[in-house]
Amino acid sequence: MKRRSFLRTAGTASAAAAAGVFGILKFPRGARAAGWGAWPSDRLDLRLPDDRIASNVLEVQINGGLSPWDTFYTVPDWNDDLRYVHQFSPEAGDFGDPPQLNRDERFAACNYDGEPLWVESGISDGDGVPLFLGPWTVPFRNRPDILSRMRVVVQRHDNVAHEGANPLCFTGDRLGAPRLAGIGTAIQRYYSENPEAGGGARTTPYSYILFPGAVGFNTQAASAVGFHPGSARPLGVVVAPNSPLTALLARTGPVDPASFDRAITYYRQQYEARFRVGGLGSPTRSAERANYEFADFARRSAPDLQAILTNEQFAPIGAPMPPECGGAAGTGLDMPRMQARLAANLLTREDSQARYVLWVDTGINPTPTGGHDSHTFHSAFASQNITHTLAALAEIIGDGPGQINLDTTMIVLNTEFGRTPHRQLQAGQTGTNHWPWGYITLFIGGPVRDPGCYGRIGYLPGSEPEMSEDGYAVDYVTPAENRIMTMQAMGIYPFSSQSFAVGDVRGGVDDEIAAIERVRGTYLGIS
């Protein structure tokens, strides 16, 4: 083919491909629903009312492990043998060499103007045990708009390694499962294929994952697609000053972008021709070809995404000085606030509004082993990192311009596991170890209208650490049920071969109807 004919043919076909690319990517379920994830017509009575369905979700993942005992599952009466919230109280002695500040001294260093160590939350667990808001929750304490919409959910699983627990946390499936797909993937696909839900084909993503300058502990599993098409993959964004993503979107380089696009379009057409019988008719369906088509479509749509992910969204925010709660200076960057700024912008845009944003949080001063993984000097790191992240989150919640409204947005405060209810038995007993057998997540806003709790964690006075059911969840949800809760809160039908099955819901349910009712009524607390 002559060069002139090649350029003319490629340019004409490019526009047609952009208009029709989404059509080849859909995998409809026939008469059962309009698009993937749409609620079956014969079960609409089980779907949440329209005014209770969340329009979008902000998920904040406390990467490394959130200790429930000094945050949202604080029980001051659990006080024998220096456990739970009393692990690092003054009575436990010095911590480390040189000695580190204990819990009370660290709290005093936060300069909270006479705030008590803990205050009643007005929420009781499944045993009727009153739960208090612990020392590192101060940014939430004076926010009744947040606390009145907060549901504490007890969770449990048995994966003690970050590399396995993170994929389980993000997807509800174990690492290596063919079905493994992030919740952002389900949301991306649902809105792409359901215009009647306020979605439809568009050039910018519905789902984003915000990584804090780097990717670790298998957090990339949050963008896994499993059995979904490649078009359902969320966009992963590394949040860092002068992010290289902005330069990539600008498509600066030695090759003229227009000429490059025409060449790629030509090669794409040649590839597509291989799927036409005798070179005629419509191409046969191929998931691989569909993914390639969408990747090319997304590349050509870079200017639309560039208008959203501007340089201003990645401008550095300096860490507070002096550091909060007597902590160290860390990297000098306020990464939680940088991620919060971008998350709020994506979720509140009038055009191209995101439906899901995952903020993978590693704190303002990550521990030596990464994020919130406080194997050493737990009080030192938790006081600074948890407090600061909650403050950054609270600042973007409200009714002001650019703030997240809890009537339309549900916040999921998630974590791959909790921390032990006793001091770690190694490393000088200054920290806590991984504890997946009894921990908590939070669901705030969206369909949650009243404060409450589902689940309970056992407490046996005087028991030996790691030698009994002490600290183990008795009633709880699994990571899979957590993901199903999020899908139902957004009005997405959670059961399909690409997402979840009835067997993923516990409690003796034997069909989809019973499973839906259990998740809605028992777990989410919505009658």
C-alpha span between 102 and 383 (Å, rounded) = 10
Residue 5: predicted pLDDT? 43
C-alpha span between 238 and 245 (Å, rounded) = 8
C-alpha span between 164 and 168 (Å, rounded) = 7
Q: Is the pLDDT of residue 496 over 60?
A: yes
Please, what are the domains in the chain?
40-243+317-523 (3.40.720)
* Residues of the chain above pLDDT 70, percent: 92
CA atoms within 13 A on the CB side of 502: 9
Structure tokens at 415: 């974590």
Mean pLDDT, residues 269-278 taken together: 87
pLDDT digits (tens, 9 = 90+) for 61-99: 999 999 999 999 999 999 887 899 999 999 888 777 777
pLDDT digits (tens, 9 = 90+) for 294-350: 888 888 888 999 999 999 999 999 998 888 888 888 889 999 999 999 999 999 999
C-alpha span between 184 and 171 (Å, rounded) = 9
Q: Is the pLDDT of residue 13 over 60?
A: no
What dihedral angle (degrees, nearest 10) is formed by the CA atoms of 432, 437, 438, 439?
A: 70
C-alpha span between 229 and 227 (Å, rounded) = 7
pTM: 0.92
Flag the least confident range among 232-236, 282-286, 475-479: 282-286
Mean pLDDT, residues 133-161 taken together: 97
Q: Is the pLDDT of residue 16 over 50?
A: no
257 pLDDT band, cuts 50/70/90, is confident
- Go through 250-269 and write b for each residue having 16 or more CB atoms within 10 A of its CB, e for each that does not: eeeeeeeeeeebbeebbebe
Contact yes or no for 343/58 (Cβ under 8 A): yes
420 pLDDT band, cuts 50/70/90, is very high
Q: Is the pLDDT of residue 206 over 50?
A: yes
Q: Tell me which DSSP letter residue 234 carries.
A: P
243 pLDDT band, cuts 50/70/90, is confident
Residue 370: predicted pLDDT? 94
Backbone φ/ψ region at 234: left (φ over 0), alpha (ψ -120 to 50), beta: beta
127 pLDDT band, cuts 50/70/90, is very high
Q: Is the pLDDT of residue 211 over 90?
A: yes
Residue 18: predicted pLDDT? 40
Q: Is the pLDDT of residue 466 over 70?
A: no
163 pLDDT band, cuts 50/70/90, is very high
Q: Which residue has the higher pLDDT, 176 or 23?
A: 176
CA angle 304, 307, 308 (to 5 degrees): 100
- Provide the strand spans (E) within 146-186: 150-155
C-alpha span between 124 and 241 (Å, rounded) = 43
State the burial class of residue 153 (Cβ atoms within 10 Å of its Cβ: 0-12, 13-18, 19+): buried
Residue 213: predicted pLDDT? 87
**Mean per-residue pLDDT over the chain, rounded:** 90
> Which of 470, 419, 414 has the alpha carbon at shortest distance from 171?
414
Structure tokens at 73: 């599952």
288 pLDDT band, cuts 50/70/90, is confident
* Residues of the chain above pLDDT 90, percent: 71
Mean pLDDT, residues 283-297 taken together: 87
427 pLDDT band, cuts 50/70/90, is low
Q: Is the pLDDT of residue 481 over 70?
A: yes
Q: Is the pLDDT of residue 21 over 70?
A: no
> Which residue type sits at 467?
M
